Amino acid sequence: MKGGLQSMSMMRVASYEYKNDYLYIIIRQSPEHGPKTHLLCCGIDIRKFDPLCRGIHGICSNPAFKGLQLLRADLSAIALKKGASSRPLHYGDCMLVSPRGEGWYRESLLLDNVTPKIAREILEYGVKDLLTKVLTVCSPGTAVPKKLPTPPELQAFIQSLEKK
């Protein structure tokens, strides 16, 4: 090419996402890390969960914050059960695909040997598991929907539980 420009090839990558104002889980194909490798980026907006969790536990013990930390370990275990594996990921790899702004607490992983089916199963499990962890402490007795609601429906559900 003229002027020393090199040809760049664009590669389409699969992305499985669940995002609303309260939480997000993104499982995105990451060919730069390997052919069946995916980034797992997840986070919660602590400020959004405050009205639901306020006064439940002491400082630094926000159940949504702790739930996300536990979720990371649970998703690693689910990946292993499904024939995939996980390894640490520097969060910087997730910055381009994750929501921006203050209040977000984030976790990340690399998932290896992930098929589209496994990615979808991990995504659905992750949303339900995180919601279960938070509601068990912040809204005891509230049933987690059996069928995964759409992100806007889940947002409305969480808002309906907030302590006014």
Q: Tens-of-pLDDT digits for all 164 residues of the chain?
A: 445 555 455 668 889 999 999 999 999 999 988 889 999 999 999 889 888 887 666 656 778 888 999 999 999 999 999 999 999 988 778 888 888 888 898 999 999 999 999 999 999 999 999 999 999 988 989 998 889 999 999 999 999 998 65
- DSSP, residue by residue, the chain: -GGGPPP-------EEEEE-SSEEEEEEE-GGG-TT-EEEEEEEEHHHHHHHHTTSS-TT--HHHHHHHHHHHHHHHHHHHTT-EEE---GGGGTTTS--STTEEEEEEEEES--HHHHHHHHHHHHHHHHHHHHHHHSTTPPPPSSPPPHHHHHHHHHHH---
